[in-house]
Homo-oligomer: A and B are copies of this chain.
């Protein structure tokens, strides 16, 4: 193969979920099968790199100073859903289960991977609580040691205020049977049992 093609394949292979074969297939698709798509892709990449930035309020992606969710008056309910990253935010948005705003930490505490509190988008969250804008935190962090550590750190350091803090439920996923659940999930499910009447 030619050097420019090799370089393109190398760049494509660094993307998440793209292996050697997919990189070759995409490169040849853009160069041989659909060459008209290549400048369109380049334009979309450049436009996104130029216009997309972090929302000053919550850390979500934005094209204005605030993201579309923060800019939406109807979503200023005081309920703030705290998530690890933008993907998690997008997943919760797709579920339609949360109508308040978000706060994106851009990571979770991990001494092993060297991620300390100052690496997370925490100061802006504490500001939102101190100003009285956030009245309820819903911690939608993962059900693992790092998610647990992050929740623990966050609640320990909360500014003195009457903010309510909840953490999303853990247990059997939708459609999941007891037989197929692992021991940790079953433990979470039993600990998270609720009165049934």
CB <8 Å contact, B41 and A12: yes
CB <8 Å contact, A44 and B87: no
Query: Which residues of B lie under 8 Å from residue A87 when comparing CB positions?
Result: 24-25, 28
Please, could you name 12 A-B residue pairs with CB atoms under 8 Å apart, sorted by A? Answer: A2-B67, A2-B68, A4-B63, A5-B61, A8-B44, A16-B25, A17-B25, A30-B48, A30-B49, A32-B106, A38-B45, A38-B49
Q: Is the interface of A mostly helix, strand, loop or mixed?
A: helix
When A25-B16, A37-B14 are in contact, do A2 and B52 touch as well, CB less than 8 Å?
Answer: yes
When A2-B61, A3-B63, A47-B7 are in contact, do A26 and B32 touch as well, CB less than 8 Å?
Answer: no
Q: Annotate A7-28 by CB proximity to B: 1 below 8 A, 0 otherwise.
A: 1101110111110001011111
